[in-house]
Amino acid sequence: MSARVSRFEGLDPSRIDEQEAGMTRRRRILRLIPVLSVAVFVAICCSATAIAAVSASRPHLAGTWSGKYSGAYSGMFTLRWTQSGSRLSGSIALSNPRGKYGISGSVRGSAITFGAVGAGATYTGSVSGRSMSGRYKTAQGGGPWSAHKTS
């Protein structure tokens, strides 16, 4: 008690309690700083890991793909993709019906969808590494398709 008296000598007792309460609050805050620092560090690491996982799980489809299709139409095709995030755009050259058409589509995880409006075809399928396959639909019918990345 003597330390308290000498430390706060000459002060009003109600002011002494206020000053001690202020010091107690400061001590609590100072104890929280390391805990909060660790929590912020963990949150940043988890966010970076989640972003990396999403980026790694999104297939990189930009480039040239060569493939074949059968069913209502049969033939070969060449896809040339550009990719921005999950959006795809480019061109497809078909052997039957012969022509080159603009395409657009999207990829979500391993699922891919795209369409060639000029050819009246829609494609759905899945991507795994440098290969993809699925089914196409036209007004005349549909069938399976598959492709592999050439560049």
Query: Do residues 79 and 137 share a domain?
Result: yes
Residue 124 lies in domain: 63-149
Distance CA 58, CA 90 (A): 18
Domains contained in the chain, number: 2
Please give the sequence-ordered ranges of beta strands (E in DSSP) within 61-140, or none if there are none. Answer: 63-69, 75-84, 87-95, 98-108, 111-116, 121-128, 131-138
What's the CATH code of the domain at 127? 2.40.128.120
| 56 Cβ contact partners less than 8 Å away, ≥ 6 residues apart | none
pLDDT tens across 77-126, in order?
999 999 999 999 999 999 988 999 999 999 999 999 999 878 889 999 99
Give the pLDDT mean for 2-7: 52
Distance CA 117, CA 104 (A): 9
pLDDT tens across 6-52, in order?
555 665 666 656 666 667 777 777 776 777 777 777 777 666 555 54
Query: Do residues 13 and 71 share a domain?
Result: no
Residue 137 has pLDDT above 60, yes or no: yes
pTM (whole model) above 0.85: no
